Structure formats: structure tokens, C-alpha cells
Amino acid sequence: MADIDALFSELKQTRDEVKLKIHLGSKELQDEWDELEGKWEDFEAKAKLGESAENIGEATSLLGTELSTAFKKIKSAL
């Protein structure tokens, strides 16, 4: 569970940084951000549940990796 907590903290920090800059971005990036926000809410809810079932942990980890990649892509484009 520590891995999910660390991933959650890293993603939250990156998300917060991007959120501060997103209003200056292009429409394409804003659309991508809106899509990511839905995924973020799903990830945040699952991470906070603290459920340890293997399939939930794997799905949450995969979603976290996807979010991390997408947040970093947007951040580098700003």
C-alpha cells in the first residue's frame, strides 16, 4: 500500500503544478486535462479506499502510471 501512497503523492503534486498552468495552455491541452480529471477522480477514490485486493491494486497502479505519463506530457507542453 506504501507504493500506492507514494504514487498518489507524486501524482497529486504534478497535477497541482499542471493545474496552475493549464489555463494558459491550448484548447487541445485543456481537453486532455478535462479527460484526465475524470481519471484522477477515479484514481483518488480508489487510492483513498485503501483496498488491498490484487485486481484493484493492479488496476490502480496501471491508472496511476497512465496519469503520471499524461500529466508529465501536459506539463512539458506548457
Region label for 25, one of left (φ > 0), alpha (ψ between -120 and 50) or beta (otherwise): beta
How far is residue 57's CA from residue 61's CA, in Å, rounded to a whole number?
A: 6
Tens digits of residue pLDDT in 48-67 = 766 555 567 777 788 888 88
Per-residue model confidence (pLDDT) at position 54? 59
Please report which confidence band the pLDDT of residue 23 belongs to, taking 50, 70 and 90 as the band edges.
Answer: confident
Task: Check whether 47 has a pLDDT greater than 80.
Answer: no
Residue type for position 65: T
